[in-house]
Structure 1
Amino acid sequence: MTELKILILLVFILSLFMKPTSVLSASQVRCIESERQALLKFKQGLIDRNDILKSWGSEEDKRECCYWDHVQCSNTRHVVSLDLGGNNLRVDNLELLSHLSFLEYLNLSNNDLTSFSMNYSFLNLKELRLSYNQLNEFHPQSLEQHSSLEYLDLSNNKLGGSLPDLRAYSSLQQLALSNNRFKRLAEGIWQLSKLKKLDLSSNSLEGAITEEHLSNLANLHYLDLSYNSLALSVSSDWIPPFQLTDLYLRFCKVGPDFLKWLQTQESLSVLDMSFANISATLPTWFWNLTSSSRLNLSYNHNSGEIPGQSSSNYFSPPVDLSSNNFSGPIPIFLFRSLDLRLARNKFSGSISHICTMSTLMSTPFKTMVLDLSDNQLTGELPGCRIFGGSLQILNLANNKFSGEIPPSLGSQIQLKILHLRNNNLIGELPSSLKNCSVLRMLDVGGNKLTGTIPQWIGTHLTNLTVLSLRFNKFRGNIHPTICHLTDIQILDLSKNNISGNIPECFINFTSFVQKSNSTESTTFVSITILHDKSTEDIISISYPDFQDPFEHEFPMDTYVDNILVQWKGRESEYRKLGILKGIDLSSNKLVGTIPLHFSDMRGLVFLNLSRNHLTGNIISSIGQMEMLEWLDLSRNEFFGKIPNSLAELHFLSVLDLSNNNLSGMIPLGTQLQSFDPSMYAGNSQLCGLPLAECPRESPNPDHGHGSNIEEDDVGFISREFYMCVAFGFITGF
């Protein structure tokens, strides 16, 4: 009996390795020959620049088209999926796919299509993706029999005129037409009763969206009409037939009244009505939208006080109410938000009460972005550890805060941006800030801070790209440790009592030495932050890829920062910092000469050393600083001639050399002669255009610039052009 069992076992094992050929063939999925030929002809009719279809062929080892890349078959051997998106294919004849009558999924997005016209009907097609092409024609009549089509994405093309009439697509559930050139509304779309997601954003649509348009869309839960010239015109007592989860009306005309029907939306998760011309007082029920995950009402004219209580004990969605006219105290429940932006309002009073609230909570606030800038807030900064170390952006600039900077701020070890400028803060910078080692931007200008510039700024905050200590009462020398800030792009120590020499080690500022390309699209930092129940930390640094048209960037996903820069005696706040690089040491008590190696800082855009006690010659090689756009050396004790190389600074559009001891002839060059004579005033021995002619002197013919004086038509070379890229902290929730 035992021998029999062993024999049976051996037979079974051998059978695993000796399957009949007929069984093996039956287990494989073989494609239909007519469909294989159709795919091969399709391949012949396109330009495959990246050779992504190399697995498609007639060779014996390539005969099974169901195993080709980007092709999927059903268990009935028919091709049901063709995924060719993102491959830069040039497709001229889609009709070659006409034999794929069982096709359910067709993705041709991110290719080089200019038109779509297919007379053959794909009766089983459910999903069609044609986004990110060059489509300027789309003929919906070619798909009239596509009652099975559920998903259609035509976003990011060049389609214009009226919206396509898609009423024949009775099964359509998701429709993306964003980022095209459509101008006129059409009735057909509003008859698609099964539609769940509709994105018409970023077109040139005009007119009004009425109750009649929306009355048939009972299944709608995602609606994006942003970036159009559309007005939402519904009666105040209208009750929509749908329950939305996402509503985007950015740059639509919604106001002046608030949308009362939003109260009926019990599942609203994302609401963006920024730039919507709303002038109202927010109703109390608005704060009970507990399911919301993002609320953006910025850049409207809303006013009044926000009620002090919310029925939600767990209110935490990102909230952006910036650039409105809200007033009164900031209610405590808002501080539970993960991202709170209340800038440019009229909020007043103290925020120290959040310390009391934090002691009553079992877990600390998880706020990551807190922007209360440009309000009328008073009192001392909260001295408690209220955010559990989660804070990454803190902007309290342009308020009336007083007292010292609390040492507890140093517990925010994830802090990347800190703005405390233009308040009434006193005392020294707390040494605990050295714990914020990932800080990229430190701006405490416009206060009454004292003491020496801390050495730990250079030794511990080595990731800084912007350091502004301007308009305070700092004293003492600039310690060489500051030169450890090799990534610094803006260094502003102006209007203090700083003395001593300019450190020679400034040449260590790598970003100043490297010349930037003015056409490059660069940003200081791009950060992706994921928020959910398990993590509130930085997950990665990346540039997001928005291939799904319904998963696009939310306006609050980007934090656009700004910095205050002094230019020609005026303070200007710049929100576009891109490749702006500069040093401002003006209005101090600095002595000595300009370090010779300053001319190696070829990437510097502005340099302001005015109102000091600097002496010596202007460095002769200053012309090597070829990116300089404005230069201010006024009110010092420089002597000698203006270097000829100064005329080689072709981008120079702001120059002030006044009130020094300069002498000799102003070098010839189109820029230097175009400046106002006052920019050279106070140098009694200086002559030549635009000042008086030099006695018994003529232009040097070997100068290299010629003797013709031309009117400077360069102007200010658009400082916005050189600051063209926003300082974006991209935050995805």
Structure 2
Amino acid sequence: MDFYRRILSFLFIFIAINNKLVSGILETKCVKHDRIALLRFKKALVDDYSILDSWKNTTTARDCCRWRGVGCNNATGQVITLDLSGVWSEELEQILRLNGDIDSSLLSLSALSYLDLSGNSFTRIPEFIGSLKNLQHLKLSNVELTSPGIPDQLGDLSNLQTLDLATTPFVIKNTHWLSRLSSLKYLNLSYIDLSESVGLLHTAINLPSLVELQLVNCLLPNNTANSLLDPLTNLSNSFSVLDISSNYLPSSTIYPWLFDFSGSLSDINLSDNELLGAIPEAFGTFSNLKTLDLMNNGLKGDIPSSFRNLSRLRELHLSGNNMDQDLPSLFDNLPVRSLQVLDLYGNQLSGSLPDFTTFSALTELHLARNQLNGSFPRKFQQNSNLSILDLADNRINGLLPDLSVFGSLSELYFERNLLQGTLAERLGSLYNLQSLGASSNLFQDTISEHHVSNLSRLVYLDLSYNSLSLEISLDWSAPFQLDIISLSSCKLGISFPGWLKTQRNFSVLDISNAGINDTVPSWFWESLNPSFRYLNLSSNQIYGSVPNLISGKLPLIDFSSNSFSGNLPLFPIDTIALILNNNFFTGPISSMCNLTALNRLDLSNNNLSGKVPNCWNSFDSMNILNLENNRFTGAIPESIGALQYVSMMSMRGNNLTGEIPSSLRNCTGLQLLDLGENELSGNLPEWIDESFSMLLVLSLPSNRFNGSIPTSLCKLDKIQILDLSGNNISGNIPKCVYNLSGMSKASTDASIEYNAIGLDRTRLTSRAYYVFKALLQWKGKQSEYRKTLGLVVSLDLSSNRLTGEIPDQITSLVALVAVNLSRNSLTGPIPEHIGLLRRLDFLDLSRNHLVGGVPVSLSQLSNLGVLDLSFNNLSGRIPKSTQLQSFDMSSYAGNPSLCGAPLPNGCPGDSDGLKGGSENDDDKEDDGKLISSGFYVSVVVGFAFGFWGLCGSLLVSDSWRHEYFEFLKMVKDQALVRVEISFSRFHK
């Protein structure tokens, strides 16, 4: 028995050794000739990232078939593929590239059929590549070249099937070489400048073997259509994929030749062109069509009924057009069985939601940003395969339906609609859900732990801006790991939510306005994801200090409107936005100098002190700078002028001294500049005109500016609010004020805002805006205007030392809502035509030396809510009108020669009152003598002639009758308007 065991063991060992020897013999090794060629090729390159580190001529690494990017023929050992495309590094966030020259040693690789050098940097594309006769696939996309250009010798590659030159910095003029590539099946010239290559498209689609043509964003010339009028030879079934998106070509260029390929094309991408009008019925003749992308054009109307014939259509993309069809009728024109992806985002579709479960193959439905105004169907007919359903930004109302038929849903979005009722009980059956966007609806509900216990795959959760309460215990261990957490305006309780301790992967957290009245526990700061992008704790009552936060991936941080205190901590060096306003932070802000990536910095309404740091030269992208209402001292630093892209700058309410730095003229993008309530001095700068052409708000009140108002201010043709009050400015009001055209045109934008930060799915963009604000002295008190700032047009020059007359030109600024020229030394009359300022709500000319009467045109200002003409030298009668008599005596006090209501003193010539009784009796007697028989006869005759003269004329003449009744209607309308105005004034 032992003998047989030994024999068997020997046989097994023999077989194993034999197999190893055989495999060693059969193992492929590259030929020496090719190995030497590759080493020569490597020598001409600069390999900073050791991409070719395995290419070594050593005993252990001599087999080039094992080298990175090298593939060999199994039988001959010859190199047949060389893939050296650049490698993306997550750690460095860049492509790792090879640099240098493409060496001619490649010609020694006689069997080479596949060459991919994409994503690298070379001197040029050498001409000898055209001599690689066996080459079938050449990929040079995203290549950086010192000497850009395509050698004509590429046309010699007669066996070439794939040519990819996308995103390479070429300008192709000569396309004759392309016509020689008779074997070419795939051609990609996307993002190459073809504006000077008129015949390229015609040449390309005439290639006899062409299957796929990619010409994305190539600047195809407008006369492309002319080159396509020549006869087309390639009308075979080979040409199936066409992408000429982002070329801004009109319908007249594309449609005439496109429909010649209705029998072959399966994938068509015409997005981002200039297709206008209705979608042609002819698209319904593409019998093999699988994908049609027409997004971001100017298409309108309906989807043609011929689309029902597209039995193979899987994807239809129509987002970003003006389709205005009723949604149920649109669904009737689509193939029910084949459609998998339907994208109608950003159109003007209306109606209710039909039962889309009838589309049995549908996996994605995008209906966001339309005008859908109905509700969900009461019941869905069948289970659905939908994985993505996006209904955001419509007016869908009613209750959420039973969602159990959507068991495959991974993404569900219906934010910013009018849905109401409960949400929690609809979530339990969505086991595959990864993203839920339900913000900005009318849900009133309480969500507890068991409602979300089945959502183990959830990574995106947005429940913001509803009336939702989260009753979750502080020590709850969630079954999911969220990346996006947005619970703004949800009720989370007064304690900081402890369940966040289990969330270790979030990059976005928004728990603003959540009713938290607590400190932030240390575990939260310590466990903060090093790659967090957005952290919003604003509008709570959180107190305590903030530790140093030194990690984050381009973070946006908002701690505003809390009770945080202490010195400013350190923030991640690549912080993009830092909003800390309305807290109790103290100390200097010099640590901000390290945050050079900032585009928005708001430190307003704290207790910060020291000087404004002089380090703004490095802030290339700053858009918002708000340091108002702190305790900063010293001068505004000269480096502030380096913020050439800043839109809003406010340093109001500090203790700043010195003059406005001349470098500020470089901030040419400013829309709002507020330096009020400081101790700034000097003259108003003359250069302010040429530099601030975009300026809407200029607020410099309560400083120590002197000198006169420079005429250069009149060139601020967009200015809507100009406040120079509370200074020592002297001289006249410039007559050139009529050039302030921004005060002559009524604005329709309620707010002046800058697109700032906010959560919008995975993008931190347009959901939130930074709304500019301004403080105005209005109706006796200082008021803050924010959401209606864009509607305020105001001129405030009060409390200065201005002299001379109020220029008549001011009456051309007809959009003015407020004018305050009080507390100056102005003389002369009030402009006679001031009544042209019909939008005026506030007019204060008090405490000057104005003379003359109150202009009658003032009575035309029906919107006037505040009027103060007190303490001048006005004289004469106050014009009689419901408007002017509605103000109390204080509006006219201090003008001794002014008379008439509402003042108690009457004007000369007014009646002295009723006379004695005997005189009245005589009058009555005389009156009685006038009523004689002749009087009655005259009345009857006059009535007859008057009545029939008028009524007869109206009966005889249609035109007179029409004009008469139109006149009566006008009188009625005017009477109603006057009653309405009087009623309004009575309430005021």
TM-score interval w.r.t. the shorter chain?
0.7 to 0.9
Q: After superposition, what is the alpha-carbon deviation per residue over 1:224-257, rounded to whole angstroms, capped at 9, x for unaligned?
A: 1111111111111112111111111111001311
Secondary structure in structure 2 of the residue aligned to 1:205: strand
Q: 1:155 to 1:336 in 2, by over 3 A?
A: closer
Residues 251 and 276 of structure 1 are in contact (CA less than 8 Å); yes or no, is this contact kept in structure 2? yes
TM-score between the two structures when normalised by the length of structure 2: 0.61
Partner of 2:337: 101
Distance in 2 (CA, whole Å) between partners of 1:189 and 1:321 is: 31
Secondary structure in structure 1 of the residue aligned to 2:859: helix
Residues 136 and 159 of structure 1 are in contact (CA less than 8 Å); yes or no, is this contact kept in structure 2? yes
Q: After superposition, what is the alpha-carbon deviation per residue over 1:195-230, rounded to whole angstroms, capped at 9, x for unaligned?
A: 111111111112211111111111111111111111
The one of 771, 775, 793 equivalent to 1:564 is: 775
Structure 1 unaligned runs (5+)? 1-7, 31-35, 37-49, 359-363, 530-543, 699-703, 719-733
The alignment status of 1:276 with 2:514, answered yes or no, reads: yes
The one of 303, 313, 321 equivalent to 1:79 is: 313
The one of 903, 928, 935 equivalent to 1:691 is: 903
Q: Tell me by how many angstroms 1:161 deviates.
A: 4.2
Partner of 2:44: none
Structure 2 unaligned runs (5+)? 1-157, 160-180, 184-205, 211-233, 242-261, 263-275, 295-302, 912-970
Partner of 2:537: 297
Q: After superposition, what is the alpha-carbon deviation per residue over 1:41-66, rounded to whole angstroms, capped at 9, x for unaligned?
A: xxxxxxxxx852333588xx788877
Matches within 5 A, 1:264-663: 264-287=502-525, 288-307=528-547, 309-310=548-549, 312=551, 316-333=554-571, 337-354=575-592, 358=594, 365-385=596-616, 387-514=618-745, 516=746, 520-521=748-749, 524=752, 526-527=754-755, 557-576=768-787, 577-663=789-875
Residues 658 and 678 of structure 1 are in contact (CA less than 8 Å); yes or no, is this contact kept in structure 2? yes
Distance in 2 (CA, whole Å) between partners of 1:633 and 1:149 is: 68
Identity, in percent, stands at 42
Residues 199 and 550 of structure 1 are in contact (CA less than 8 Å); yes or no, is this contact kept in structure 2? no
Partner of 1:42: none
Residues 398 and 418 of structure 2 are in contact (CA less than 8 Å); yes or no, is this contact kept in structure 1? no
The alignment status of 1:169 with 2:410, answered yes or no, reads: no
Distance in 2 (CA, whole Å) between partners of 1:411 and 1:552 is: 26
Residues 550 and 570 of structure 2 are in contact (CA less than 8 Å); yes or no, is this contact kept in structure 1? no
Q: After superposition, what is the alpha-carbon deviation per residue over 1:484-526, rounded to whole angstroms, capped at 9, x for unaligned?
A: 2222111111011111111111111111122x16xx2365465
Partner of 2:984: 714
Distance in 1 (CA, whole Å) between partners of 2:764 and 2:402 is: 25
Residues 130 and 155 of structure 1 are in contact (CA less than 8 Å); yes or no, is this contact kept in structure 2? yes
Distance in 2 (CA, whole Å) between partners of 1:52 and 1:431 is: 56
Partner of 2:146: none
Residues 877 and 899 of structure 2 are in contact (CA less than 8 Å); yes or no, is this contact kept in structure 1? yes
Q: Tell me by how many angstroms 1:300 deviates.
A: 0.6
Give the aligned length: 650
Q: Tell me by how many angstroms 1:322 deviates.
A: 0.7
Q: Tell me by how many angstroms 1:694 deviates.
A: 2.5
Letter in 2 for 1:407: E
Matches within 5 A, 1:228-267: 228-267=466-505
Residues 291 and 316 of structure 2 are in contact (CA less than 8 Å); yes or no, is this contact kept in structure 1? no
Residues 441 and 467 of structure 1 are in contact (CA less than 8 Å); yes or no, is this contact kept in structure 2? yes
Letter in 1 for 2:352: S
Distance in 2 (CA, whole Å) between partners of 1:661 and 1:465 is: 35
The alignment status of 1:665 with 2:842, answered yes or no, reads: no
Letter in 1 for 2:984: V
Letter in 2 for 1:621: H
Partner of 2:939: none
Secondary structure in structure 2 of the residue aligned to 1:89: coil
Q: Relative contact order: is structure 1 or structure 2 higher (C-alpha 8 Å, sep ≥ 6)?
A: 1
Q: Tell me by how many angstroms 1:100 deviates.
A: 2.4
Residues 326 and 351 of structure 2 are in contact (CA less than 8 Å); yes or no, is this contact kept in structure 1? no
Letter in 1 for 2:721: I
Q: 1:140 to 1:289 in 2, by over 3 A?
A: farther
Secondary structure in structure 2 of the residue aligned to 1:142: coil
Partner of 1:224: 462
Distance in 2 (CA, whole Å) between partners of 1:619 and 1:666 is: 15
Residues 388 and 409 of structure 2 are in contact (CA less than 8 Å); yes or no, is this contact kept in structure 1? yes
Residues 56 and 65 of structure 1 are in contact (CA less than 8 Å); yes or no, is this contact kept in structure 2? no
Distance in 2 (CA, whole Å) between partners of 1:678 and 1:320 is: 47
Residues 379 and 400 of structure 1 are in contact (CA less than 8 Å); yes or no, is this contact kept in structure 2? yes
Larger helix percent: 2
Partner of 1:193: 431
Q: 1:243 to 1:143 in 2, by over 3 A?
A: farther
Q: After superposition, what is the alpha-carbon deviation per residue over 1:440-482, rounded to whole angstroms, capped at 9, x for unaligned?
A: 2211110111111121223333332211111011111112122
Q: 1:510 to 1:549 in 2, by over 3 A?
A: same
Residues 198 and 223 of structure 1 are in contact (CA less than 8 Å); yes or no, is this contact kept in structure 2? yes
Q: 1:17 to 1:97 in 2, by over 3 A?
A: closer
Distance in 2 (CA, whole Å) between partners of 1:438 and 1:26 is: 56
Q: After superposition, what is the alpha-carbon deviation per residue over 1:95-115, rounded to whole angstroms, capped at 9, x for unaligned?
A: 735852121123455444423
Q: After superposition, what is the alpha-carbon deviation per residue over 1:698-730, rounded to whole angstroms, capped at 9, x for unaligned?
A: 9xxxxx999x99974436999xxxxxxxxxxxx
Distance in 2 (CA, whole Å) between partners of 1:632 and 1:463 is: 28
Q: Tell me by how many angstroms 1:625 deviates.
A: 1.4
Q: Tell me by how many angstroms 1:586 deviates.
A: 0.4
Q: Tell me by how many angstroms 1:24 deviates.
A: 6.2
Distance in 2 (CA, whole Å) between partners of 1:166 and 1:102 is: 23
Q: Tell me by how many angstroms 1:68 deviates.
A: 7.8
Partner of 2:278: 52
Partner of 1:541: none
Q: Mean Cα displacement is larger for which, 651-660 or 423-432?
A: 423-432
Secondary structure in structure 2 of the residue aligned to 1:678: helix
Letter in 1 for 2:640: L
Secondary structure in structure 2 of the residue aligned to 1:137: coil
Partner of 1:209: 447
Residues 632 and 655 of structure 1 are in contact (CA less than 8 Å); yes or no, is this contact kept in structure 2? yes
Letter in 1 for 2:520: L
Q: 1:321 to 1:668 in 2, by over 3 A?
A: same
Q: 1:616 to 1:235 in 2, by over 3 A?
A: same
Distance in 1 (CA, whole Å) between partners of 2:509 and 2:657 is: 40
Letter in 2 for 1:369: R
Secondary structure in structure 2 of the residue aligned to 1:451: strand
Secondary structure in structure 1 of the residue aligned to 2:810: helix
Letter in 1 for 2:871: N
Secondary structure in structure 2 of the residue aligned to 1:116: coil
